[in-house]
Amino acid sequence: MTYYGAYLNSAHLVGSKYANFFFLGLAEIPAFFIIHFTMTCIATAFIPMKTVDGADLTVPIVVMAIIAKLCITCAFSINLIFCSEIFPTPVRNVGFGIGAVVANIGTVVAPFILYLASYASFLPLTIFGALSISSAVLIPILPETRNKPLPETIEDAVHLGRTPPCTQDKDQRVKSSSKHF
């Protein structure tokens, strides 16, 4: 929801809506190479258009929105990796599909969240930021898969977070996993 909300909100940012949309899209390029878990949606929502002295804050607002979009894209991209690693082989496709469906519910809801700006201008980005922060807080619950074989069975998935890292070389893992067939 936050991913698409950031795109749809580009028309509501100060400055040229075309330039804003272009730069938000351009922010995706480094996002696929740089993984950051910093969200700036909430900060963007509360930056005033001008300071008390009358200084224009248009550029910082757009820069914060671009940084937020970069971070959102990073988080969105890492989701694909998590889904492919934590689901066991027999249900990996189904689990991945269910995850995609649930993620696309956010795609449907995002435009409606933007309508809340007619009640309070800070509300849409605050909601997007709060959801992003709550997701970041929940990430540590997911099991670590580094140096561990991917789960082959439901039982493997249940014990994924409790097993020690693999110390066997790749050939030994292949031989031991072929015994299950």
**pLDDT tens, 56-98?**
888 887 888 888 787 777 777 777 777 777 788 888 888 888 8
Dist. CA 146–CA 136, nearest whole Å: 19
Give pLDDT < 50 ranges for the chain: 36-39, 170-171, 173-174, 176-181
Q: Indicate the domain borders of the chain.
A: 2-142, 148-181
pTM for this entry: 0.55
pLDDT of residue 178: 47
